[in-house]
Amino acid sequence: MVNHDDETPSGFAGLGRDELAVLVPELLLSGHLIDRSGMAHSIAAFGRDGMAQIAIEEWQVASPVYTRRMQRALNFEGDTVETIFKGLQLDIGAPPQFMDFRYRVEDDHHGEFWLDHCGALADVEPMGEDYVRAMCHDIEDPTFDATALATNSHAQVRPIHRPPRVPKDRKPVCAWTVTIDSAHVPPPIPANFEAVAASNAARTALEPIDPGDDGAADYAGPLLSDLRFTDFSRSALIRMADEVCLQHHLLTLGFLIAVGSRADAGLTAQIGRKQFAGIAGLTAQRLRDALGVGDDDAALAKVLRLHPAWNPLPYTGVRVDQADIGVRLCIPKHSGAVADRVWPSLIDATNLAPIEAIARGVNPHYAVHVIADTADELSVGFLLAARPFAEAGEVAITRFSTGADFRFSDRGIPLPLTVI
Which amino acid appears at position 47 of this protein? G
Which strand ranges, in their side-by-side order, compose the sheet holding 319-323? 319-323, 326-332, 377-384, 366-373
Is the pLDDT score of 240 beyond 90? yes
State pLDDT tens for residues 295-349. 999 999 999 999 999 999 999 999 999 988 899 999 999 999 999 999 999 999 9
CA-to-CA distance for 274 and 269, rounded, in angstroms? 9
Q: What φ, ψ does residue 160 adopt, rounded to 5°?
A: -90, -50
CA-to-CA distance for 131 and 94, rounded, in angstroms? 19
Which amino acid appears at position 318 of this protein? V
Over residues 98-117, mean pLDDT: 97
91 SS3 class: coil
- Whole-number average pLDDT of the chain: 95
User: Which pLDDT score, from 0 to 100, does residue 418 have?
Assistant: 74
State pLDDT tens for residues 148-178. 999 999 999 999 999 999 999 999 999 999 9
Helix ranges (H only) for 74-173 are 81-88, 119-124, 129-133, 140-149
User: Which pLDDT score, from 0 to 100, does residue 2 have?
Assistant: 32
- Bridge partner residues of 177 (DSSP): 112, 158
Over residues 213-218, mean pLDDT: 98
Over residues 270-294, mean pLDDT: 98
13 SS3 class: coil
State the pTM of this model.
0.96
Angle (CA) 387-389-390 rounded to 5° is 130
Model confidence band, residue 15 (pLDDT cutoffs 50, 70, 90): very high
- Residues 6 or more apart in contact with residue 203 via CB below 8 angstroms: none
User: Which pLDDT score, from 0 to 100, does residue 263 have?
Assistant: 98
CA-to-CA distance for 260 and 349, rounded, in angstroms? 23
DSSP string, 173-237: SEEEEEEE-TTSPPPPPPTTHHHHHTSHHHH---PPP-TTSSSB----S--BSS--GGGB-HHHH
**Counting runs of H as helices and runs of E as strands, what totals does the chain give?**
14, 8
Percent of the chain having pLDDT more than 70?
A: 98
